[in-house]
């Protein structure tokens, strides 16, 4: 993982001694110029100040708080640089979607780390998430739009007014603002602005049995009942990166969230058919396939947090990983072609809508209760993710432009659509031990706010042909292999 500070030199901050001898960083000039020499009338990004909103900082948290305050300044500078480079690009929502939105996600993650650091030995500050959202200002004063968009005295109930451009705040977690610094103070005040939120969790005992978004069909007379389980481990060797060679090939950090990998040892953003075929593997029987999914994190720990993308907490290694290939309800299965690429779920479902979402969460001992929310499990029960892949292949292509149309899901009766043929269906079942409470989240793009509906996974078949024949034979003969 890259250093979130990126080795960049930090500027315009100074140390100030607060009451009790604690030291905090004060950002001098939270509105940074988009470019050296930019005219005073040019737009710049204006963010709420943070250091003066903090309580007394315990000595043990001082270094981490200082580092994150400096990181906040770096994030503003990087966003202003992009604002300058992208002038004139995109439509009317380009700046919000491409610059201000991602910046808010990064700031929210950093603010949450500050709150966690202080809360370990002192009183955790509340409401820091309200300082995440930044706005555009003209020149240096943001149009006198209140306290950096916080809505003057009324803006503590969310993000208040939008300052310089006079439009209401787009952040649903904030109070309403009129652009003149007049926030109404009625916004939700989540513990952090990066998510997940309370509504993203559910007590598994309150989920109705039998209500599931997993497609389960009993095999008919012509169906295939067998299964084959690939033994590939739990990523004990810590093969992680934020790449995705299927969706963003040839790009480093294309996923903006960390993946766990099992199977092929060489998988990264630059993987090709040739490199995968030449790689080693964690799987038994020579299976060189690449299996990967976004990591789950313990948000009570900062052991290996990723400030840059808003993914907070210690990466959890699954306690168990089952990679099971299954049959089809109404037909025999045929072999997957080598190098077939598959995705399931939608990493951007929180903003795209749920059309491609396939998130399925449950707890051990409660597998008849499936939800698309994070499950709160009783003590002794583990959190479980179930990820089903599409299994009706068009018979020709190993990939498609949207990575979905070449292999689709069976229909409502479990049969493959006309013009497709059934191949072994991969089901990933991942179980985790997590701290009690709303303490965990899946890695996600910043704007997705760690919504559990964004859970997803990827697979590339690099099984030797003879092993794929074994898989097909086991399934079609009704065996469990």
Question: Does 128 map to a domain?
Answer: yes
Tell me: do 137 and 225 sit in the same domain: no
**Which residues have a Cβ under 8 Å from the Cβ of 28 and sit 6 or more positions away?**
12, 13, 14
- Confidence bin at 305 (pLDDT 50/70/90): low
Hey, what are 430's tokens? Answer: 């991942």
Residue 185: inside a domain, yes or no? no
Mark which of 146, 165, 184 sits at the end of a domain: 165
Residues 294, 434 within the same domain:
yes
In this structure, are 216 and 125 located in the same domain?
no
280 and 144 co-located in one domain: no
Provide the residue range defining the domain that includes 441.
198-476
Angle at 421 between CA 360 and CA 282, to 5 degrees: 55
- For residue 26, tell me if it sits in a domain: yes
Give 206-260 pLDDT, tens digit per residue.
999 876 667 666 666 788 999 999 999 999 999 999 999 999 999 999 898 999 9
Give the C-alpha separation, 199 to 354, whole Å: 17
In this predicted structure, the answer to whether residue 91 has a pLDDT above a threshold of 60 is yes
The residue among 65 and 381 whose pLDDT is bigger is: 381
Express each pLDDT in 325-341 by its tens digit: 999 999 999 999 999 99
Whose CA is closest to 427, among 478, 476, 360?
A: 360
Confidence at 41, pLDDT banded by 50, 70, 90: very low
- Give yes or no for residue 156 having a pLDDT over 60: no
In a domain, 364, yes or no: yes
Give the pLDDT confidence score for residue 321 in this predicted structure: 98
User: When comparing pLDDT for 18 and 376, which is higher?
Assistant: 376
**Final residue of a structural domain among 112, 141, 165:** 165
Instruction: Report the 10 Å Cβ neighbour count for 468.
Output: 23
Q: Specify whether 154 is located in the same domain as 223.
A: no
- 354 and 457 in a single domain? The answer is yes
Q: pLDDT band at residue 73, thresholds of 50, 70 and 90?
A: confident
Mean pLDDT of the chain: 79
pLDDT in tens, 340-349: 999 999 999 9
Average pLDDT over residues 417-428: 96
Q: 217 and 144: one domain? A: no
pTM beyond 0.75 = no
Same-domain status, 150 and 269: no
- Do residues 338 and 411 share a domain? yes
| Residue 1 falls inside a structural domain | no
- Name the range with the highest mean pLDDT among 60-64, 88-92, 175-179: 60-64
pLDDT at residue 123 is higher than 50: yes
* pLDDT-wise least confident of 127-136, 289-298, 433-442, 472-481: 127-136
What number is the average pLDDT over the span 126-140?
Answer: 79
Is the CB of residue 107 less than 8 Å from the CB of residue 131? Answer: yes
Asked if residue 374 and residue 294 are part of one domain, the reply reads yes
User: Based on the structure, what is the number of domains in the chain?
Assistant: 2
pLDDT (mean) for 447-467: 96
Of the pLDDT bands very low, low, confident and very high (cuts 50, 70, 90), residue 164 is: very low
Pair (331, 259) in one structural domain: yes
Q: How is residue 357 written in tokens?
A: 């979402």
Mean pLDDT, residues 363-378: 95
Share of the chain above pLDDT 90, in %: 51
Adjacent-strand bridge partners of 459: 291, 342
List pLDDT tens digits, range 208-219: 987 666 766 666
Return the ∠ at Cα 48 (arms to 42 and 51), rounded to 5°.
Answer: 130
Which of 144, 165, 186 corresponds to the end of one domain? 165
Asked whether residue 160 falls in the same domain as residue 60, the answer is: yes
The answer to whether residue 6 is domain-embedded is no
Look at residue 78 in the predicted model and tell me its pLDDT.
83
Q: 217: how many CB neighbours lie within 10 A of its CB?
A: 16
187 occurs within a structural domain: no
Does some domain include residue 415? yes
307-323 average pLDDT score: 87
């Amino acid at each position: 993982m890259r250093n979130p500070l990126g080795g960049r030199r930090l500027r315009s901050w100074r140390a100030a001694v607060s009451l009790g001898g604690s030291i905090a960083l004060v950002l001098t000039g939270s509105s940074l110029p988009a470019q050296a020499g930019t005219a005073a009338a040019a737009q710049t990004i204006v963010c709420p100040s943070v250091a003066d909103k903090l309580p007394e900082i315990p000595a043990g948290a001082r270094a981490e708080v200082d580092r994150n305050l400096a990181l906040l300044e770096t994030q503003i500078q990087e966003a202003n640089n992009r604002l300058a480079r992208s002038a004139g690009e995109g439509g009317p929502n380009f700046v919000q979607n491409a610059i201000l939105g991602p910046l808010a996600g990064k700031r929210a993650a950093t603010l949450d780390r500050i709150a966690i650091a202080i809360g370990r030995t002192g009183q955790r500050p509340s409401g820091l998430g309200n300082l995440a959202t930044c706005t555009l200002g003209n020149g240096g004063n943001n149009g006198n739009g209140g306290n950096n968009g916080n809505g003057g005295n009324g803006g503590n109930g969310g993000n208040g007014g939008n300052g310089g451009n006079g439009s209401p705040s787009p952040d649903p977690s904030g109070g309403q603002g009129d652009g003149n610094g007049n926030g109404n103070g009625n916004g939700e005040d989540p513990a952090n602005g990066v998510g997940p939120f309370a509504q993203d969790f559910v007590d598994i005992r309150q989920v109705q049995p039998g209500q599931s978004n997993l497609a389960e069909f009993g095999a008919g007379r012509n169906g295939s009942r067998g299964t084959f389980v690939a033994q590939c481990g739990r990523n004990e060797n810590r093969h992680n990166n934020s790449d995705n060679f299927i969706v963003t090939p040839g790009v480093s950090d294309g996923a903006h969230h960390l993946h766990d990998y099992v199977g092929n040892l060489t998988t990264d953003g630059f993987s090709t058919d040739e490199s995968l075929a030449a790689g080693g593997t964690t799987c038994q029987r020579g299976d060189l396939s690449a299996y990967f999914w976004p990591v789950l994190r313990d948000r009570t720990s900062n052991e290996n947090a990723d400030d840059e993308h808003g993914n907070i907490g210690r990466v959890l290694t699954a306690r168990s990983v089952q990679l099971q290939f299954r049959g089809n309800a109404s037909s025999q299965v045929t072999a997957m072609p080598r190098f077939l690429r598959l995705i399931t779920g939608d990493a951007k479902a929180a903003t795209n809508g749920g059309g491609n979402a396939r998130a399925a969460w449950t707890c051990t001992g409660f597998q008849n209760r499936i939800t698309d929310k994070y499950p709160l499990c009783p003590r002794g029960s583990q959190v479980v993710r179930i990820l089903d892949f599409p299994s009706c292949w068009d018979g020709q292509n190993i990939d498609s432009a949207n990575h979905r149309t070449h292999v689709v899901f069976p229909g409502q009766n479990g049969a493959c659509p006309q013009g497709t043929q059934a191949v072994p269906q991969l089901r990933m079942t991942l179980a985790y031990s997590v701290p009690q409470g709303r303490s965990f989240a899946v890695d996600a793009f910043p704007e997705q706010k760690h919504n559990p509906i964004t859970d997803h996974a990827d697979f590339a078949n690099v099984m030797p042909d003879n092993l794929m024949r074994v898989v097909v034979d086991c399934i079609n003969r009704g065996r469990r292999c």
